[in-house]
Amino acid sequence: MSNWKIPKVSPSEITPQEVYHSRREFMRLGAGVVVGSTLPSSLLAGEKLPNLVKSNYELTDKLTPLADITHYNNYYEFGTDKESPAKTAGSLKTRPWTVAVEGEVHKPKLWDIDSLLKLAPLEERVYRLRCVEAWSMVIPWVGFPLAELIKRAEPTGNAKFVEFITLNDPEQMPGVRSPVLDWPYREGLRLDEAMQPLTLLAVGLYGEVLPNQNGAPIRLVVPWKYGFKSAKSIVRIRFVEQMPQTSWMKAGPSEYGFYSNVNPEVDHPRWSQAKERRIGDFFKRQTLPFNGYAAQVAQLYTGMDLQKFF
């Protein structure tokens, strides 16, 4: 079992949310026309996202506090320990930002991030996040189904998989100066997995614009798979015929398979996956097959040996 810890913060060090937003608004107005004309306040990290649609995807689980979600992160582009991304991701510039949709599609397109935000109603969905390191969170994501983008791209009959490629910029991302992974970060899904209604392109959490350390401005969320499948800061989405080799498959093929479904019966070579520790809890809990989403997704894997296709 890997060690984990949440940094202890004194209550006196925590800025109240209402003060935080007032301070941001003062800074925005004080910056004058230059900032105001190029970056509307609704697109600043920490600002509320307007016109959210309440989703049917709700859980009774207690939500993980925002402070924990934003200060305990796996984002190797900004450091390999959990606390580094919150400290170093401020260098990431999320405007302007484009996402190229390409490959085996009838309608390739270079999408501006603000156009993507208007592609479909933004829903607030509460999903479990299960990390391969045996810790978990419950996060109220804001986003829209990846299927909405796929429908507009119109995949050809040759499209069997979807590959996600993330930003690779050493100037903004200090972690990519290290060869810990073969950059840029790449992930992939089977096309039917990508079309599954649970699969989300997230642009926010807790009703606010996605913080940099959580994958701004747009990231993938696939709740029945381990968290590393959820590529952050996406710049390219490619439709391909052959299964793409993902970053973690390339780095450790005996530890990280393409499917990466949460399966308590398949241990990681270095620790058990049978139990997990929810961030903020003392006791461990049983890990659920498909992270608790078996009713929605198990049929995608009918007839597959999930010990082999891990």
The tens-digit pLDDT sequence of the chain (310 residues) is 444 343 343 333 333 444 334 434 433 333 333 333 333 434 577 799 998 998 888 899 999 999 999 999 999 999 999 999 999 999 999 999 999 999 999 999 999 999 999 999 999 999 999 999 999 999 999 999 999 999 999 999 999 999 999 999 999 999 999 999 999 999 999 999 999 999 999 999 999 999 999 999 999 999 999 999 999 999 999 999 999 999 999 999 999 999 999 999 999 999 999 999 999 999 999 999 999 999 999 999 999 999 999 9
| Domain membership of residue 44 as a residue range | 11-301
- Please, is 242 exposed, middle or buried when counting C-beta atoms within 10 Å of its C-beta (0-12, 13-18, 19+)? exposed
Task: Tell me, yes or no, whether 58 lies in a domain.
Answer: yes
Task: Tell me, yes or no, whether 90 lies in a domain.
Answer: yes
The answer to whether the annotation marks 302 as part of a ligand binding site is no
Task: Tell me, yes or no, whether 267 lies in a domain.
Answer: yes
The answer to whether the annotation marks 73 as part of a ligand binding site is yes
Q: What is the reported pLDDT for 43?
A: 59
* CA dihedral sign, ordered 133, 138, 142, 145: positive
What is the DSSP secondary structure assignment for residue 233, as one 8-state letter?
Answer: S
The answer to whether the annotation marks 214 as part of a ligand binding site is yes
Report the distance separating Cα 274 and Cα 140, nearest Å. Answer: 25
Task: Tell me, yes or no, whether 309 lies in a domain.
Answer: no
Domains contained in the chain, number: 1
Task: Tell me, yes or no, whether 111 lies in a domain.
Answer: yes
Task: Tell me, yes or no, whether 236 lies in a domain.
Answer: yes
CATH of the domain at 113: 3.90.420.10
The answer to whether the annotation marks 166 as part of a ligand binding site is yes
Report the distance separating Cα 236 and Cα 203, nearest Å. Answer: 16
Task: Tell me, yes or no, whether 36 lies in a domain.
Answer: yes
Task: Tell me, yes or no, whether 310 lies in a domain.
Answer: no
The answer to whether the annotation marks 158 as part of a ligand binding site is no
